[in-house]
A and B are shown apart, each in its own frame.
Chain A
Amino acid sequence: MVEKVSTSLSSLSMLQPKAEVRNLNFYYGATQALKQINLVVPEKRVTALIGPSGCGKTTLLRCFNRMHDLYPGNRYEGEILLDRINILERRVDPIAVRMRVSMVFQRPNPFPKSIYENVAYGLRVQGLLKRDFIDHQVEQSLRSAALWDEVKDRLKDSALNLSGGQQQRLCIARALATEPELILFDEPTSALDPIATSSIEDLMSQLKQQVTILIVTHSMQQAARLSDYTAFMYLGEMLEFNQTTTLFNQPLHQQTEDYVRGRFG
C-alpha cells in the first residue's frame, strides 16, 4: 500500500508543473482558513479541488489570482509558484497576476454590456487597443468557448439577453481572450441546468489542449469525468492529492473514501 502511494506520487513529481503551492497558510483576519497546503498543478491538464463545503477549496482557488487582496485583513503565508515565480510575494503586482491567471465564477457574471465588449475588456485593460487584434481575439475566444456560431450575428447585443449557459460560456470566452496560462473555475456549473452543464464540461475538456485548468467542484461525478488530477480538501487541509482515477478508486484516507463514496458532504 505504502509503496504504491510513493510510486504514484513520484509519477506526479515527474510532471511539468505549471503552478506549485508550497506550505501555503491563509488567514481571514485571525481565522486560519488554509493550513500547510502543498499542491502541484500540472501544465495543460485539468486539476480538480473537491471537498465538503467550507473546506477551503474556493479560498485556495482565489489565492491563485490574489483575489483575497481586494478585501482588508486577509493574509498569505508560503508560496505559490507560477512558472517558478512566487506570485504571493509582496513586490509582485496582483494585477499582473490576474492578467495571466483568468477566473470563471460560480454564477455567470457577464458585464451588462455588449457581447463583444465583454470579451474585449480583458484586452483593453492590458492596453492592447488595436482594433484588428481585438476583433481577432474576440472571434477566437468565442470560437474556443463554442459560442461563436450562436452569437456571431449579434455581437453588439447585450450579454444579459443570453441564456444562463450561454452567459457562462461568454464568461469563459472573456477569460480566454487574454491568452492566460492558467484558468481558475469556481464551481462553474453549479448555477446551470444539466444540458448547459454538459456543454460547459465538453468545453473544458477541449480547452485543456491550450491551457492549464484548476477547477473547484462540489460534484464528484464532474471531477471524475473532467479532471486528470484531483485534490481532496478537508477542514482547510489538503488531505490527498493524486491522479483522479487513483484518488477515486484507492483513496488513502478514510475521510476521502467516505466523501467520494457519497457518505457525507
Chain B
Amino acid sequence: MAQTDSAPPDLLAVQGSVSQRQLQDGLFAIVGLLTILVATIILLALVLQLAIQGFPRLTWQFFTSFPSSEWQQAGILSAWIGSALVMLVTAAIAVPLGVAAGIYLEEYARKNWLSALIEINVTNLAGVPSIVYGLLALGFFNDLLKLGESILTAGLTLALLILPIVIVTTREALRAIPNSLREAAYALGASRWQMIWDHILPYASGSILTGVIIGLSRAIGETAPLITIGALTFIAFLPPAPIQPSFPYISLEWLQAPFTVLPIQMFNWVSRPEPEFQINAAAAGTVLIGMTLAMNGFAIYLRYRFRRGVKW
C-alpha cells in the first residue's frame, strides 16, 4: 500500500487501466464460453425435444410398417431399407473411386497442370451445393443414361457428392504415413504398387475408414438431391431382394427399383398439414439423428484412437 502511495501518479493510472483490462479479459472469457455453451445447448435442446416428441412412436411396428395415410399405422420400413440399399451402392462406388483418386493425387501425380486441374476440381466439388448434384442426376443419369428414378441413380448421385470427402481424407491419411516406410519397402525391391498395396494402404486404412464413415453419414442425411431425381415418398413395397431362393440366387433387380429413403420420408411427413404426422416426422428424425450421430461418433472415436495409437 505504502508503495502505491509513493508511486508517481502515472503508474497509478496505468495500474487502474491494468485491472480494468484484466476485467475485460475475464469478461471475454466468460462471453466466449457462454457463446459456445449457448450455441451447443440450443442445438442439443432441439435434438432432445425432437427425441422426446418422436419417442412414443419408436415401436417395433414403426420400423416394420410401410407408409400409410393413417398416422398410427405409418412406418419407415421402406424408408430405412431404401436408405440401407442406397448407402450400399454409394459406398461401393465412392470408396474405391475416392481412395483410388486419393492414391493417385498423393502417390503418383507429379506437379503439373493436370494434377493441379484435378486438385482444383476436388476442392470445388466439395463446395458445390448438394441440390446441384440432384440436377446432375436428373439430367445425366436419368435423362441421358436412362437409369431411371432408381436406387442405382440415387447411389451414384450420393457417391459423387461424397467423393471429395473420401478423396481429401484418403490424401490426409496417406500423407500421415512417414516417408521412411515407403523407402523401406522400395529398398527391399518393391514396386510402387506393391509398396502402396502391401504397406501404405493397410497402414492408412484406419484413417481412410474414418473419412468414409463421415462421408456416408453425410450421404445418409441428404435429401435435396434425391428429391430432384424424384425419389417417391409413398412406397408401400420393398425392392426385390438381392438374394433369391432359386438360381442364380443373386439378383441385381433391386438396383433398378424405385425407392424412398429416411430423410425424404421425414420431409414428406413434415410437409403434411396434419399435426399427428409431425410426430411421425419427429420419430423418423430421431432415427436419422441417431444414425448420423452414431456414425460420426464412431468416426471421431476412430480418429482419436488412431492418433493415439500411431507410434512411428
Contact = CB atoms under 8 A, between A and B. Distances in A.
A111 B199 contact: yes
A109 B180 contact: yes
A70 B198 CA distance: 18
B180 A105 contact: yes
Interface string A98-119: 1100110101011110000000
A95 B110 contact: no
Nearest to B203: A112
Interface centre among B180, B184, B185 (most CB of A within 10 A): B184
Given A109-B180, A111-B199, A160-B312, A103 B191 contact: no
Given A109-B180, A112-B203, A121 B198 contact: yes
A250 interface: no
B191 A105 contact: no
B189 A122 contact: yes
Contact of A98 (B178, B186, B311, B312): B186
B176 to A, nearest CB: 12
B201 to A, nearest CB: 13
Given A72-B110, A125-B194, A109 B188 contact: no
A95 B191 CA distance: 7
A102 B184 contact: no
B194 to A, nearest CB: 6
A98 to B, nearest CB: 4
Given A111-B181, A160-B311, A98 B187 contact: yes
A124 B189 CA distance: 10
Contacts of B190: 95, 121, 125
Interface residues of B, number: 19
Nearest to A101: B187
A37 B191 CA distance: 29
Contacts of A107: 180
A155 interface: no
A155 B181 CA distance: 20
A65 interface: yes
A68 to B, nearest CB: 11
29 contacts: A67-B186, A70-B186, A95-B189, A98-B186, A98-B188, A102-B187, A102-B188, A103-B187, A107-B180, A109-B180, A109-B183, A110-B184, A111-B184, A111-B199, A112-B311, A112-B312, A121-B185, A121-B190, A121-B198, A122-B189, A124-B198, A125-B191, A125-B198, A160-B311, A160-B312, A171-B184, A174-B184, A174-B188, A178-B189
Given A160-B311, A171-B184, 7 more contacts: A95-B189, A96-B189, A98-B186, A102-B188, A105-B184, A109-B184, A111-B181
